[in-house]
Amino acid sequence: MPIDATKPYDESNIFARILRGELPCTKVYENEFALAFNDIKPAAPVHILVIPKGPYVSWDDFSARGSAEEIAGFVKAVGHVAREAGLVEPGYRLLANVGMNGGQEVPHLHVHIFGGAGLGPMLAR
């Protein structure tokens, strides 16, 4: 169910629980700013989620409140994960849903990295 990205950060969301070590994940990469792990319901042959370690609800929240160091560290982590997964040459897609109309389901910023096959049109018609 899509969420309202303007609400305050919810410390009980699934990604906050993963960051605290309360729930497991199949870690792909970690640095001081981000954690990347395989999606448990992959929508492509490669489907990795990258989340910032700070309490940010959405891309809007992160871009407004994140420090320059956090933003740079997170963006670099996304690029590193895509390169390490071998996705640059064949191509890949990044997706960050924001709010109800964007289909955001977890109130913690997360970027999906999709790849490993042709992904088709950007939006379903």
pLDDT by residue (tens digit) across 50-66? 999 999 999 999 999 99
| The model's pTM | 0.96
Instruction: Spot the catalytic one: 47, 80, 108, 110.
Output: 110
Known catalytic residue at 47: no
Closest CA to 96 of 124, 67, 120, 75: 75
Residue 48's alpha-carbon distances to 39, 80, 111, in angstroms, are 5, 12, 8
pLDDT digits (tens, 9 = 90+) for 3-55: 899 999 999 999 999 999 999 999 999 999 999 999 999 999 999 999 999 99
Looking at residue 51, what is its pLDDT? 98
Which helix (H) or strand (E) is 84 found in, with range?
helix 68-84
**Cβ–Cβ under 8 Å, residues 103 and 2:** yes
Q: Which residue's structure tokens are 């042709």?
A: 118
The two tokens of residue 54 are 């700070």
Looking at residue 1, what is its pLDDT? 79
d(CA 84, CA 28): 9
- In the chain the domains, ranked by start, together with CATH numbers, are 14-115 (3.30.428.10)
d(CA 38, CA 36): 7
